[in-house]
A and B are shown apart, each in its own frame.
Chain A
């Protein structure tokens, strides 16, 4: 094991020694998880990236491993005994063979069946790892052989697509070395995989969300807040504000469904106390591969004192853009280059979007150092503009809960769909009308591509927005979409019901695409939550506000009140999952099957 596990001679190690090393980590990972140990033993061996498997042949065993992140021991779902699962390192142009075995014990709370989905990877449908769509799943005692050609490079990840196993620990980084030289240089390479851990049985957490969706919101507005707001904004304005939210039966403090009141956030499987550390020498360039492997958490990431240059999004090169901070939605990946200098240590700080907690790690010149950890930012409030009930001007006005612009004067019903101007009143599918599972509809949603998102506006830092992400290549397909599908993200906060167009997965027919066609998908968020939407098997080519090609992604984040469009080239036969990547939203029904066939649409 070289000290740089991502060294240029990645193929070097013989498999047996690699295997033994991995087994050694099983215990190490568990101990590191305690968070009380000053230094995880394994971090000394391979700074930052302890657990890397590379080559074309892989044996992955899924089982249960006791872990203790909060002091209590719980059984996590692990790969080869490790949480996160081992970093897999492939090479573009190779054919990988992955033998995945299910060694979950009988009666496991995590179920009898398992699976691995290779997130963002182009592959044949039966290799995609979604039980019931791509294959039967891997039952206890069975081994499934994944074998496919690797046709892309970049940073991706993999995770279970069975039950709630992803929440319980089955996620890991996937790194594919490209054939062509990369368009940027760096000296060291680290994976920074963010995730959320709970001691609860995830099924119980899901039930809790069904019983009391607001459970984790400890910021519901109080009488004291009313007095303070009335003093600051005047009684009339405060009453008007409360009236708006009261009529909607919603709370502007609902930024996420599950937050740090339930979760312990992890960075490469370490709590903040565990302090994952990536080493550097002054003057070096580090490549940090951020992966959000969480179940339900949007993270806002920054490294105080360092600028980050984003060079890839969802594994695909973008024109370098330098920022202080970025929001990473569940399932997204961002590769950034940093050049630490002038300090011995820097804190990698990732706070949740709801501002309830954080996880921190360190970049340092040697083990054992820490830099100051900043406080969690103040909690923002959703405004009516955030909810899609205001015009552009209202949206720009920031997070003040100003009046909803209900009757937009001069609205344009004939606004061209898919252009995302949001100039007009949004129309809605008939299936939403009178639907008890749809608790709101955005009235004038806009693309919001240049909006870094709630809590990141005007905070004195330069935050990434989607409009800054520009693929470093032209639209690889180049065709105008031949047709357009508009889908609305829908839900009901009180019932914790989630769906597309008001229809849950169980009640919906597959979306049918013709093999080879190019189509535009327009998403409209009719909920107050932020949903990262992931299409399996094919790229999602996000469009800018003018309908031009902006950036190639596998997961498109949809803040409340947004309307975004992207192009899909249906070049992969079969049934593919299409869903919100917030695990409990998917489980509640926010999912569709996309069926790509020859002459079926």
Chain B
């Protein structure tokens, strides 16, 4: 019914009322008197398909636009396809001036979305009370690059009793390969424990469901020693500024390394919880508790060396980024 009416209306429009005049009428009409409450029926003569087409058009052309209802739903037919395929307002043929104005500049547009950014996070920079004395530890990472590709730096280390127990630095190329994940590959250099050594590193990192931050990396050393590290971190918001950050870390080793006190298999597991107060988003002091435990052959080596197999520490430190 509506389609038919629309078609008739369109036909009528073409035959009786030049569309251009239609336009002009509208620009002259007095909208100020338009009344939202006016019955919409007034605007719908075309709906009556029984009315002769020509009469419909005339009615429309002569009808009182000033009292047209605000509800134009009855006028949807105005957007009908025109029989001749020509626009109601003609598209002017382009002039030479238009063509000249349309020549883009030689330089091209600045490439949105290609900026290089950087980020450095000292996730943990802390002191702790070790059994006989005290120590310090850090874990930091950062990147430089774009949305898909980044150069990553990761570093972790620990000092106690005034000398470095462990310290490493990883330099990795990271490439986003899925919504929440990127693959990383590069090298790891251990300054300590023992003599310096290098590994090739391959891993994945990203955001698991429920926003667990996960990093899993496998390492292969020059002389065949292999290892793996898995880190999972979470942020529990107690309030906007008080944030509890549980952390879980596992270390695996491929073979024994007696000089460094490492046994093959699961070496150590660490679980920690740090409560920070974000003075700003970028700067937050924290306190926390960390429990570390050695397993398997590593624990045997520790026992033999007279070291603790389990260790619980209180930590206090700073988390900041820039």
Interface residues of A (CB under 8 A from B): 124-127, 130-136, 180, 183-185, 206-207, 210-212, 215, 218-224, 243, 246-247, 249, 311, 317, 319-322, 434-439, 470, 472-480, 492, 494-495, 497-499, 504-507, 515-516, 518, 544, 546-549, 569, 571, 573-575, 586-591, 593, 596-598
Contact = CB atoms under 8 A, between A and B. Distances in A.
Given A215-B281, A320-B34, A437-B147, A571 B79 contact: no
A500 to B, nearest CB: 11
B109 A319 contact: no
A183 B321 CA distance: 57
B32 A124 contact: no
Nearest to B237: A222
Contact of A321 (B19, B70, B321): B70
A136 B88 contact: no
Contacts, number: 216
B85 interface: yes
A499 B27 contact: no
6 contacts: A185-B32, A321-B36, A437-B148, A474-B23, A474-B78, A497-B147
B209 A124 contact: no
B179 to A, nearest CB: 6
Interface residues of B, number: 71
Q: Which of B176, B179, B239 neighbours the largest number of chain A CB atoms within 10 Å of its CB?
A: B179
Contact of A130 (B75, B109, B148): B109
Contacts of A223: 236-238
Given A183-B31, A220-B240, A569-B91, A124 B102 contact: yes
Contacts of A215: 281
Contact of A249 (B30, B36, B180, B238): B180
Contact of B147 (A211, A479, A492, A549): A492
B112 A588 contact: yes
Interface stretch (B92-100, B153-161, B253-261, B312-320): B92-100
B240 A221 contact: no
Interface string B70-92: 10100110111110011111011
Contact of B88 (A218, A224, A475, A480): A475
B110 interface: yes
A420 to B, nearest CB: 14
Given A183-B31, A212-B321, 14 more contacts: A124-B97, A124-B98, A131-B110, A183-B32, A215-B281, A218-B240, A222-B239, A243-B210, A437-B176, A438-B179, A474-B22, A479-B87, A480-B80, A505-B112
A274 to B, nearest CB: 27
A183 B65 CA distance: 12
B113 interface: yes
B37 to A, nearest CB: 11
Contacts of A180: 27-28
Nearest to A309: B36
Nearest to A123: B101
B112 A587 contact: yes
Contacts of B27: 180, 473
Q: Which of B106, B112, B119 neighbours the largest number of chain A CB atoms within 10 Å of its CB?
A: B112
